[in-house]
Structure formats: structure tokens, C-alpha cells
């Protein structure tokens, strides 16, 4: 079992690491969170937080701070990118709170990170160590930074995890064949079809566009995902001429109202999308991976942050059961891999459906047209209505 007097070290202070620190501290465990960056600056712009994530954030006491920052969209809408024809609509807003027991919110990623950091700094059982680059994620190297040897090391250091490389049987990140282009557009410059009360996904062959409002900046967050090639293994590439051609080509036959989005604005951030497939998450009782370090997935189900938040809660719950630590970690991995596999499968299905063309696209549109919004919402009960294990 994990002794509550024995500190836990978390490598990485992103959403996974900060949430894990709060979840562990809530159960009386002492935590060191180590981050190589000297200050925490959120990468990317917008973030969708679905009810399964917000149920946990509410348990951590963070919901009032989130509500002050985010927008709760009335609905999630699928649209045809070439014709702007509405294809389907899943109700959200008040409906989400009633059906799934927690809200659906959209906000700037930096806002969530600031809320998590403030909570960590106020939590006496959490210590945040910024600007500390580890030579390795071994106990001695961590103790040199924190002043105390950890009983458990949690790798929450993202898709390029260095902790993962120390776990036998783990898998390296691989390029998915998709690139995300991220940017924001002001409300005045935005296409008329954009609606600040909705999350909108515009679908087209080999590409789709996700749009939702950012209340904090009075802008729309725009993410365009296209098939393409990655020149380097990194987040946040400089937009190359080749990537710009991929972007313009993917949307060249889309509706004229959307075309100005891809011209005349600041260059979008180019994110090659890498994923981590099935592999080991632990090395026995000493080290465990969570979030993208364990199972980075494509954003086609908008569940990357939510899965990290679920991981954080359920890992803390497993460690609090009084089992030997190796058994607790095995239990965590076993239950989370079932959930992750199902979410990943949903993302793969969405990728196929969103980027469909020809007869498949026609069939997709027909099936969607036959479903009522309430029926579509029921398809998400297993995902958004998930209650994490205590």
C-alpha cells in the first residue's frame, strides 16, 4: 500500500500533473510536482471540457472558478463544410447538467491551467517545483530537486514523456497522419455562420474544422484538422510552406463563407498529431504513467484533457484503497485501459465519419438526419455520464 507519509513525485505540471496533485492531496497524500519550465504557459488555445471531466473538477472544488471563465454551449452541432447544411445537433447547456450530472464548458486552456495552479499553490500537501530539469526520473535525481525521496513516481509529462522511456514495454509516440492548425478569429472577422452559443464541427473530405467561443478573449477558437506529413516530432511547429499548402488545399472547395478564415489572419500554430498506442504504463510499484504520457490520442472525440483528469482521480482512488502499491497500480491500469480503448475507438470512428467522402458521406448524412437530438445525446451517455471510481 502507499503510505500517506511517503511523498509522491509527479513529473510534469500540465493538466494531468496538476490535477493528479490535487486528487492525491485531497486523500491526504503529500506531493511534489516537478516541471522543467520556469513558468507555466499554456500551449494551444481552446479546450472543451465535457461533463465526465467537470464532475471531477467539481469534486475538487474548482467549478465556481471555471464557471466564471467558460461558456456552456447550448448545443454541439455538426455541419457540412461545403454547403453549411446542418447535419446533426446534440443538446448541451442546461440539458448536459441534467442528463450527465455536470456541465459542458469551453474555455481557453490557459484559464484551466491558472485555476489548477492556484488550487495547487493553496494546497499545503502540494509542492510545485518550477524550472527544474531532471537528468532522469529516478528517485535519486528527484530527491536532488525536491529534498526527499519519492515512494512513487508519476509520469505526467505528455506525449514526449521522458518517464515513459524508463518503463520496459512502453511504446514511443508515432505520427498519426493528421495535422492540427490552431488559431483564433475575432467575432467581427468571423464568418456569419459561426455561433457563439454553440460548439460547431464542419465536416469535409479528409478534413474538418471545429469552432467554439472563448469568452475570456471574445474570440472564436478554430482548429482545422487535415491529413498531412510531419517534418518534425514536436508540438507547435512553425507553419512551413508545405503545411500551408496542405491547409489551403484541404479547404479549397469548402463554402465561400469559410474561405476568408484561411487567408489574411496570423499564421496558425501547426501541431502534428502524435499518439501513443498500447504499451506498458508501469514498471511494478515504482513508476506509473497518466494522461498523454500513457495514452496520447487523437482529438476526434475531444477527450484528451478529460482522460487525463479521469486518470488523476482514479489513480488517487486506487492508491487510497490500502492495497500493496504494485496491486493498486495494476488495478488502475486494468480499469483505465478498458476505458481508454473505448474512447480511442470512438475517436477512430469520428475520424472516419468526419472525413468521409462519396457514398460514405451520403450514408453518414442520411443516418444523422434520421436521429433526434435526444437520441444523439443518448449515444454519449457512456462517455459524458461516466462516474469515476472512488
Distance CA 160, CA 158 (A): 5
What is the tens place of the pLDDT at every residue in 146-171? 999 999 999 999 999 999 999 999 99
Exposed, middle or buried: residue 197 (CB in 10 Å: 0-12, 13-18, 19+)?
middle
Q: Is the model's pLDDT at 18 over the cut of 50?
A: yes
What is the tens place of the pLDDT at every residue in 53-67? 999 999 999 999 999
Question: Domain coordinates of the chain in residue numbers?
Answer: 8-72+105-172+276-348
Extract the C-alpha cell encoding 97.
Answer: 447538467
Q: Is the model's pLDDT at 235 over the cut of 50?
A: no
Mean pLDDT across the chain? 91
SS3 of residue 94 by DSSP = helix
Contact by Cβ (8 Å): 164, 275: no
The separation between CA 337 and the C-alpha centre of its own chain, rounded to angstroms, equals 16
Dihedral angle, C-alpha 289, 326, 313, 301, nearest 10 °: 50
Q: What are the helix (H) ranges across 45-107?
A: 51-59, 63-67, 94-100
Q: Is the model's pLDDT at 243 over the cut of 90?
A: no
- Report, as an integer, the average pLDDT of 108-124: 95
What is the tens place of the pLDDT at every residue in 295-348? 999 999 999 999 999 999 999 999 998 889 999 999 999 999 999 999 999 999
> What percentage of the chain exceeds 90 in pLDDT?
73
- Report, as an integer, the average pLDDT of 107-122: 95
The separation between CA 155 and the C-alpha centre of its own chain, rounded to angstroms, equals 16
SS (H, E, C) 326-376: HHHHHHHHHHHHHHHHHHHHHHHHHHHHHCCCHHHHHHHHHHHHCCCHHHH
Strands (E), 75-206: 75-80, 86-91, 105-108, 126-129, 152-155, 174-186, 198-204
Distance CA 128, CA 145 (A): 11
What is the tens place of the pLDDT at every residue in 33-88? 999 877 766 566 799 999 999 999 999 999 999 999 999 999 999 999 999 999 99
Of 312, 225, 315, 239, which is closest to residue 273 (Cα–Cα)? 225
**Which residues lie across from 91 on neighbouring strands?**
75
Domain 8-72+105-172+276-348 = CATH 3.40.50.720: no
Amino acid at each position: 500500500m502507499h503510505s500517506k507519509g511517503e511523498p509522491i513525485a509527479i513529473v510534469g505540471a500540465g493538466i494531468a500533473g496538476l490535477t493528479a496533485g490535487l486528487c492525491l492531496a485531497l486523500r491526504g497524500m503529500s506531493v511534489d510536482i516537478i516541471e522543467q519550465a520556469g513558468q507555466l504557459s499554456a500551449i494551444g488555445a481552446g479546450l472543451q471540457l465535457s461533463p465526465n471531466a467537470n464532475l471531477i473538477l467539481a469534486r475538487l472544488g474548482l467549478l465556481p472558478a471555471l464557471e466564471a471563465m467558460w461558456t456552456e454551449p447550448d448545443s454541439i452541432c455538426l455541419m457540412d463544410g461545403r454547403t453549411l447544411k446542418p447535419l446533426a445537433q446534440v443538446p448541451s447547456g442546461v440539458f448536459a447538467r441534467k442528463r450527465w450530472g455536470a456541465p459542458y464548458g469551453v474555455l481557453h486552456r490557459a484559464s484551466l491551467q491558472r485555476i489548477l495552479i492556484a488550487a495547487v499553490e493553496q494546497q499545503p500537501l502540494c509542492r510545485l517545483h518550477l524550472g527544474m530539469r531532471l537528468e532522469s526520473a529516478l528517485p535519486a535525481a528527484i530527491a536532488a530537486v525536491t529534498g526527499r525521496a519519492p515512494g512513487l513516481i508519476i509520469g505526467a509529462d505528455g506525449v514526449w514523456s521522458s518517464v515513459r522511456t524508463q518503463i520496459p514495454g512502453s511504446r514511443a509516440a508515432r505520427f498519426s497522419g493528421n495535422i492540427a492548425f490552431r488559431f483564433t478569429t475575432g467575432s467581427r472577422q468571423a464568418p456569419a455562420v459561426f455561433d457563439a452559443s454553440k460548439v460547431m464541427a464542419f465536416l469535409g473530405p479528409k478534413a474538418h474544422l471545429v469552432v467554439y467561443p472563448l469568452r475570456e478573449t471574445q474570440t472564436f477558437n478554430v482548429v482545422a484538422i487535415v491529413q498531412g506529413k510531419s517534418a518534425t516530432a514536436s508540438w507547435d511547429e512553425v507553419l512551413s510552406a508545405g503545411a500551408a499548402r496542405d491547409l489551403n488545399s484541404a479547404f479549397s472547395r469548402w463554402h465561400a463563407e469559410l474561405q476568408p478564415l484561411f487567408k489574411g489572419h496570423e499564421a496558425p500554430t501547426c501541431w502534428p498529431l502524435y499518439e501513443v498506442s498500447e504499451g506498458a504504463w508501469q514498471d511494478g510499484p515504482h513508476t506509473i504513467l497518466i494522461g498523454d504520457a500513457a495514452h496520447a490520442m487523437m482529438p476526434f472525440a475531444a477527450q484528451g484533457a478529460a482522460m487525463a483528469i479521469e486518470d488523476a482521480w482514479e489513480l488517487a482512488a486506487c492508491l487510497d484503497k490500502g492495497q500493496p502499491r504494485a496491486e493498486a497500480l495494476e488495478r488502475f491500469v486494468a480499469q483505465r485501459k478498458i476505458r481508454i480503448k473505448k474512447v480511442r475507438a470512438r475517436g477512430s470512428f469520428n475520424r472516419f465519419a468526419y472525413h468521409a467522402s462519396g457514398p460514405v458521406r451520403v450514408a453518414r448524412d442520411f443516418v444523422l438526419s434520421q436521429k433526434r437530438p435526444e437520441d444523439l445525446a443518448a449515444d454519449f451517455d457512456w462517455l459524458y455520464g461516466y462516474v469515476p471510481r472512488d
